[in-house]
């Protein structure tokens, strides 16, 4: 279990991360989100011990994160850190060796991961000769070659097509089921919704939202109503509490500021003809993110 408690980091006089606290349990995928410059990379570096904290504590399974536990950690950064003149095989021997693995263990794990990501044929190719997406696969393999107990994934799907994203997702879920604590960071809110039960949003180093995603959605007062049928948009827009109405692909999307408005909308819609759909939905994480982050900038 990873525990981050009241962590602060100053660069000179500027606080990049302020009083940050969160926990990632074994077998949990935790979302750490924020716009550019919010403090995510700074946090990752403090967690893996690459950067000193100004204040607070970080422990993994009850102990401080230092060289004794680095063999148990994996980190997939946005920046490529591959030795591109090496072959995939030699790169794996190098990384695995750094993580304290012996040669046969590395080769067995490499073969397994190459097969899972469907790139067995590149095992003896130089990394610089591979496409961007395949280099991303190799980078991912290196970050999990040691079956990490703690894994940080920063924009893991960048440069991947949808088919390869599915292959990555399967491996991430496999690690989760094996008990790995995973921190997942992405600007793609649909991916965050797919993986993360709990999350935290940083704005300029401060936590503006944190907790269980289901609860966050329930607590967010604004909801959406999806309607299909012959309605008059203008009439809906006039209802007090309706924030906006848009029409796309045959459906009206009605944004309301509180659940109490549903009855009023329903009352009007029940006077209309050919209604084939009336569904009240939770807002997407994307909407919540924009409101929370945008609001904090005002
Ligand atoms: P991005 O999504 O763009 O990678 P981020 O959320 O990872 O952003 P950080 O890189 O952690 O954000 O930066 C947080 C803040 O700290 C920013 O204001 C940044 O300018 C500042 N910062 C980061 N690294 C340093 C450094 N080495 N020296 C001084 N300030 C820094």
Q: pLDDT tens, 88-134?
A: 999 999 999 999 999 999 999 999 999 999 999 999 999 999 999 99
Domains annotated for the chain, with CATH where assigned, are 2-217 (3.40.50.300), 221-281 (3.30.70.980)
> Residue written as tokens 């692909």?
249
What's the DSSP call for residue 147? Answer: -
pLDDT at 297 over 50: no
Report d(CA 30, CA 291) in Å as an integer. Answer: 21
Once rounded to an integer, what is the mean pLDDT over residues 56-76?
89
Radius of gyration for the chain, computed over Cα atoms and rounded to the nearest angstrom? 23
Q: What is the pLDDT of residue 226?
A: 96
Q: Which of the four pLDDT bands, split at 50, 70 and 90, describes residue 298?
A: very low
Residue 260 three-state SS:
coil
**What's the rounded mean pLDDT across residues 81-89?**
90
The mean pLDDT of 71-78, rounded to a whole number, is: 91
Q: Is residue 41 lining ligand 1, measured as CB closer than 6 Å? A: yes
| Percentage above 70 pLDDT, the chain | 99
Q: Which ligand 1 atom is at minimum distance from the Cα of 39?
A: 11
* CA–CA separation, 253 and 247 (whole Å): 6
Determine the residue of 40, 79, 154 to mutate for testing ligand 1's pocket, defined as the one with the most ligand atoms within 8 A of the Cβ atom: 40
Q: Is the CB of 42 under 6 A from ligand 1?
A: yes
Least confident stretch, 113-122, 156-165, 201-210, 286-295: 286-295
Which of 74, 95, 75 lies closest to 86 in space, CA to CA? 95
Distances (CA, A) of 126 to 105, 129, 134, 224, 248: 22, 6, 11, 51, 48
Residue 84 contacts residue 142 (beta carbons within 8 Å): no
Is the CB–ligand 1 distance for residue 204 below 6 Å? Answer: no
Query: Residue 295: pLDDT above 90?
Result: no
Query: Which atom of ligand 1 approaches the CA of 205 most closely?
Result: 14
d(CA 259, CA 154): 36
User: In angstroms, what is the span from residue 37 Cα to ligand 1's centroid?
Assistant: 5
What is the pTM for the complete model shown?
A: 0.89
Which atom of ligand 1 approaches the CA of 78 most closely? 4
Ligand 1 atom index nearest CA of 12: 29
Task: Write out pLDDT tens, residues 220-243.
Answer: 888 999 999 999 999 999 999 999
Distance 145 CA to ligand 1 centre (A): 28
- Ligand 1 contacts CB of residue 143 (under 6 A): no
Q: What angle do CA 22, 51, 79 make, to 5 degrees?
A: 90
Q: Band the pLDDT of 66: cuts 50, 70, 90.
A: confident
For ligand 1, whether the C-beta of 269 sits within 6 Å is: no
pLDDT in tens, 148-200: 999 999 999 988 999 999 999 999 999 999 999 999 999 999 999 999 999 99
100 CB within 6 A, ligand 1: no
């Amino acid at each position: 279990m990873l525990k981050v408690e009241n962590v602060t980091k100053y660069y000179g006089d500027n606080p990049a991360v302020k009083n940050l606290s969160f926990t990632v349990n074994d077998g949990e995928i935790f979302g750490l989100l924020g716009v550019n410059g919010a403090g995510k990379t700074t946090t990752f570096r403090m967690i893996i011990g690459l950067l000193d904290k100004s204040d607070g504590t970080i422990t993994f399974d009850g102990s401080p994160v230092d060289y004794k536990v680095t063999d148990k950690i994996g980190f997939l950064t946005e920046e490529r850190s591959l030795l591109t003149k090496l072959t995939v095989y030699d790169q794996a021997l190098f990384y695995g060796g750094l993580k304290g693995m012996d040669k046969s263990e590395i080769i067995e794990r490499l073969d397994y991961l190459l097969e899972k990501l469907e790139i067995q044929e590149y095992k003896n190719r130089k990394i610089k000769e591979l496409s961007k997406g395949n280099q991303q696969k190799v980078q991912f393999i290196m970050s999990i070659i040691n079956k990490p107990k703690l894994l940080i994934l920063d924009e893991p799907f960048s440069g991947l097509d949808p088919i390869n994203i599915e292959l990555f997702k399967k491996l991430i879920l496999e690690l989760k089921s094996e008990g790995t604590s995973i921190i997942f960071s992405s600007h793609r809110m649909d991916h965050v919704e797919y993986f993360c039960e709990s999350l935290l949003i940083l704005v300029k180093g401060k936590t503006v939202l944190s907790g269980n995603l289901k609860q966050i959605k329930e607590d967010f007062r604004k909801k959406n109503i999806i309607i299909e049928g012959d309605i008059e948009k203008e009439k809906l827009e006039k209802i007090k509490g309706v924030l906006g109405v848009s029409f796309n692909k045959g459906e009206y999307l009605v944004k309301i500021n509180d659940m109490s408005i549903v009855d009023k909308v329903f009352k009007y819609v029940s006077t209309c003809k050919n209604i084939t759909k009336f569904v009240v939905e939770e807002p997407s994480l994307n909407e919540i993110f924009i409101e929370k982050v945008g609001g904090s900038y005002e």
